[in-house]
Structure 1
Amino acid sequence: MKPFKIAIVGAGPAGLAASLLLSRAGHATDIIERFDSPAPVGSALMLQPTGLTVLESLGLGPAIHAAGNRIDRLFGTETTHGRIVLDVRYSALPGGRYGLGVHRAALFDTLHDEVSARRHPIHTGLRVIGVTEEASGSYLSVEGGDRLGPYDLVIDASGARSELVASSPVAPRARNLVYGAFWATLECPDGLVDQAALTQRYDKASVMIGVLPVGSRRPQMPKQAALFWSLKVADADDVRKRGLDRWKQTIRGYWPECEPLLEQITDWDQLTLARYAHRTVRTPFSGRTVFVGDAAHSTSPQLGQGANMALLDVAALAHALAGHESIEAALLAYARARRMHVRLFQLLSAAFTPFYQSDAAALAWIRDRLVATIAKVPPAPQILAGIVSGTLIDPFNGAGLRECDWLRRAAPQPS
């Protein structure tokens, strides 16, 4: 395929990774970012074998592993009787898979440093409000009246609140989720939690508290962990009005061992309120504008797939462009390559979320009494590990990727 001039709207992880993958294939990319200085949004995330494989393909595996923290297990108990209601181990699958807890800033820094080192152009302070297709190519309409272009292809990587997908003919219906979460990234003392686990506590399905060790954003920084507290988004203002001390006391009541984290929180500004919506674009392109990451699909974070799905999207798009003679054929191939994987994990997330984040006391009762038992009976451990790792069905072939040899990567390197 001939080289194309491609506009990438959004300088988040999906947009930065798209620029790296497409520039490596010989295309010219412009990243268009609405903020004056690109920066990460949010607290922490889990990189799964899927997203890690994409980063490895870009040569960024060592950098992200140095910044993150290996996670081998997801473990949760309910607070009343201490029943185990979540116990997923990557080791249930062969091949040595694992997750990586990382600060969102660490993922952003890893990708942004590489983009900067390769001098990919990033145009900042430009809010793209529309795309117009003409015979000479696609033009971006920018707030204030400017116009950018022409481009052969526009990639919308601007996230769940994308204005481009909302105004497109393929705009999906969005269902705002009742529950969101407060997040904070804090220094994590040794021994506070299992460093190789995402640990969670539940009271029915309406209270969820979690601690995710995320390593160190930079080598000189101390080890950190993300603390998150699930709540109804509509209740967030009332929680703030009742005061920080009362909120902290509530967490102490459920999980007293969190005190070393809580004592670091002295202001509401240290907490980020995350809101979630469930939406899936049925066809992830319109004309010569293609949607990736949260612009194409978003859901609850219960399965921890968001950033990983975005990285798979851009890898699949780059692979489709490399294998077809026209953009139109490549976009159809991209849609086919991602369809089953995206729909499966959107469905699974929608199905699992009410058991862990809802007012459904009956679902919590079922979870508390059955999950731990069922999860021990084969093939349930393997299925759950496949869901968490994002590999329940093969996500790699359609993206032109070969999964990493995790056992080799984890082995000590000769000095």
Structure 2
Amino acid sequence: MSAPETSPSRHADTADPHDRLFIAGAGIGGLTAALCLAREGRAVTVLERAESLAPVGSGLQLSPNAMHVLRGLGLEEELRRHAVAPEAIRILSARSGKDLARIPLGAHAEARYGAPYLVIHRGNLQETLLRAARACPDITLRLGADLRDARQSPDGVTLDIETAHGKDHLSGAALIGADGVWSVTRRRIMGLRQAVFSGRTAYRAVIPIDTIPEEWRKVTGLWLGADAHVVHYPLSGGRQFNIVALVKEDWHEETWSAPAARADLLARFEGWPAACRTLLEQPESWLKWALCGMDPGMSWINGRFALLGDAAHAMLPFAAQGAAMSIEDGAAIARNLARAEDPVKAFHAYQSERQDRAERVLRLARSNDRVYHLGGPLALARDAVMRSLPPERLLARFDWLYGWRPPE
């Protein structure tokens, strides 16, 4: 998917530069926001520090709330070709190896929420968004454009960027920071506190599905253990299998992601049920990520600057909503910019609309962190409650989350 810097389209050339909107970051949230803004007729320039965009990463979950936005962008059919709609979330005990609960998904969830619940490789999602952005005349994509600083005035913003050809200065109406957990927009330009390490690490691997037992090929598996849990599900139309092992540990690496020693990981899961150990033994190589998050209650906006996705509210992955919240944010910021001519007013409306919901999800992820990793008598009590709840009731607990749709 590597490509040279995209040239501005004829439409972009003729647009009033003072009306141009800038987005820092060509990830899932940034590209979604760009597509939603372009649908509203706004000229957008996406600035991406990387020289090329390769389909990297592992799996993620696209729940119905996110799929409503992506459907509105006309991307559902293509995404379904790369994704899998798991039949259920199968929750198991790492102590006994027995099933605790089964939350129905598949056709049941699609009928309930009006959109599918999909699992997909992050690279396939980004590639789909990127292809749509490149085909849109209102979107200019600038790769290899490193945002160094930005200033604002009552009339607009001025950005300082560095490229392989030197320094450049860009002027426009507003800047949206969609540049991830380690956001330059958040830290350097808006002066906000960064995310902090949570004390947990995620080990991730994607492998061919051929050697995986049939019982795991159509469901999302979730194994709960003391201070660790394992998640796995199919990807790539059922051709690949995603495994994530999450553990409590310190982080001593120089960067926030690094190769992981297979033997060290397996040692952490010694004594776990054989069925789970068999899955963990399949990958020959693993990558690990330090899990970082932010506290609720901090502002995402400052005048003509605004944040979305992980740059605004990085959260632990224990609600499987990081990508979905970025997608929802992208739709919301575009909708509010379309309604208000003044970006400052639009950004206030955006934060008012989004913050409570995003922070409720952030708190859910923190709650799941505690619940998933219980040990001793508390784990036994949790397991008993899960076994007692009907599957329909387990799913209904997420109606507030999965049942969201973009406001008309």
Q: Same fold (TM over 0.5)?
A: yes
Residue number among 357, 376, 386 corresponding to 1:371 in the alignment: 386
Residue number among 108, 111, 115 corresponding to 2:133 in the alignment: 115
State the percentage of identical aligned residues.
24
Query: Given residue 384 of structure 1, which amino acid in structure 2 is its aligned partner?
Result: R
Q: Which residue of 2 aligns with 1:396?
A: 406
Corresponding residue SS for 1:275? strand
Corresponding residue SS for 2:180? coil
Where do 1:10-409 residues align within 5 Å? 10-90=25-105, 91=108, 94-95=112-113, 98-118=116-136, 120-134=139-153, 136-142=155-161, 146-167=167-188, 171-172=192-193, 174-189=195-210, 191-204=213-226, 206-216=227-237, 223-234=239-250, 243-245=261-263, 247-248=265-266, 251=269, 254-257=272-275, 265-267=283-285, 270-280=286-296, 282-357=298-373, 361=376, 363-373=378-388, 375-376=389-390, 380-386=393-399, 389-391=401-403, 394-397=404-407, 400=408
The answer to which of 54-63 and 138-147 deviates more is 138-147
327 and 310 in structure 1: CA distance in 2 versus 1, 3 angstrom threshold: same
Task: Find the aligned partners of 1:24 and 1:191 in 2 and give their Cα distance.
Answer: 44
Query: Given residue 341 of structure 1, which amino acid in structure 2 is its aligned partner?
Result: R
Q: Which residue of 1 aligns with 2:13?
A: none
Aligned partners of 1:41 and 1:104 also within 8 Å: yes
CA offsets 1:338-358 (integer angstroms, 9 cap, x no match): 133112212222222111147
1:31 deviates by 0.9
The alignment yields a C-alpha RMSD, in angstroms, of 3.1
CA offsets 1:208-237 (integer angstroms, 9 cap, x no match): 122111234xxxxx7111111112342687
1:23 deviates by 1.6
How many pairs were matched up?
381
The answer to which of 33-42 and 17-26 deviates more is 33-42
* TM-score normalised by L of structure 2: 0.83
Task: Find the aligned partners of 1:210 and 1:369 in 2 and give their Cα distance.
Answer: 21
Task: Find the aligned partners of 1:94 and 1:107 in 2 and give their Cα distance.
Answer: 24
Unaligned runs of 5+ in 2: 1-15
1:138 deviates by 0.7
Aligned partners of 2:94 and 2:225 also within 8 Å: yes
Q: Which residue of 2 aligns with 1:413?
A: none
Aligned partners of 2:23 and 2:34 also within 8 Å: yes
44 and 243 in structure 1: CA distance in 2 versus 1, 3 angstrom threshold: closer
1:257 deviates by 4.1
Task: Find the aligned partners of 2:380 and 2:363 in 1 and give their Cα distance.
Answer: 22
Task: Find the aligned partners of 1:103 and 1:230 in 2 and give their Cα distance.
Answer: 18
The answer to which of 115-124 and 305-314 deviates more is 115-124
Aligned partners of 1:173 and 1:279 also within 8 Å: no
Aligned partners of 1:176 and 1:277 also within 8 Å: yes
1:242 deviates by 10
1:376 deviates by 2.5
1:262 deviates by 5.2
